[in-house]
């Protein structure tokens, strides 16, 4: 009986947890946030929607501090599904002119090339209303932008800005 209850509890938790984890929609102070999810491809910044889908980047207004601590900031969740295995990618946020705005962190992939990174970017680092992109560069310590010797470059399609 106790094993049955344990199995039932695990099954319920496995069913409910994804909705709790991923069902959160960030809200900006005093307004509604419309998150944008864009595709991630093996492409340069000047390209869009090239090649197979390798992951996604989700941009939403930063709701930390009720909008007063980080006004205009962004929460960015990057998910790589088909990167290079066991690789450290430097994550950069780019504007619509392909200028690097900020080095946001390091995304590390597992043995199957999957990895996730959640970052909060200060509003003071982002131009108001600009289209944004995420660019992942391996190795993590590679100089960006400019010509390689990069092992891998993944870039998201641009957001619609605004």
Average pLDDT over residues 53-81: 81
Average pLDDT over residues 33-54: 89
Q: Name all domains of the chain by residue range, CATH numbers in brackets.
A: 2-156 (2.60.40)
Which of residues 100 and 20 earns the better pLDDT score?
100
Q: Which of 59-63, 74-78, 87-91 has the lowest mean pLDDT?
A: 59-63
pLDDT at 50: 87
Average pLDDT over residues 30-38: 72
Average pLDDT over residues 16-45: 59
pLDDT at 73: 85
pLDDT at 151 over 90: no
- What residues contact residue 83 under an 8 Å CB cut-off, 6+ apart? 54, 55, 89, 109, 113, 114, 115, 136, 138, 152, 154
Answer for the pair 160, 41: CB distance below 8 angstroms, yes or no: no
Measured over the CA atoms of residue 60, residue 64, residue 68 and residue 71, the dihedral's sign is negative
Answer for the pair 129, 161: CB distance below 8 angstroms, yes or no: yes
pTM for this prediction: 0.72
């Amino acid at each position: 009986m106790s094993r049955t209850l344990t199995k039932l509890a695990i099954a319920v938790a496995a069913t409910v947890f994804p909705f709790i984890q991923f069902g959160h929609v960030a809200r900006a102070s005093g307004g509604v946030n419309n998150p944008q999810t864009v595709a991630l491809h093996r492409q340069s910044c000047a390209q869009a929607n090239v090649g197979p889908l390798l992951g996604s980047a989700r941009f939403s207004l930063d709701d930390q501090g009720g909008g007063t601590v980080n006004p205009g900031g962004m929460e960015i969740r990057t998910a790589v599904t088909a990167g290079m295995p066991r690789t450290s990618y430097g994550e950069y946020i780019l504007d619509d002119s392909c200028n690097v705005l900020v080095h946001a962190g390091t995304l590390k992939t597992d043995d199957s090339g999957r990895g996730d990174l959640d970052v909060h970017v200060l509003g003071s680092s982002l131009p108001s209303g600009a289209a944004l992109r995420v660019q992942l560069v391996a190795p993590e310590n590679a100089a960006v932008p400019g010509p390689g010797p990069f092992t891998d470059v993944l870039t998201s399609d641009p957001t619609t800005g605004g």
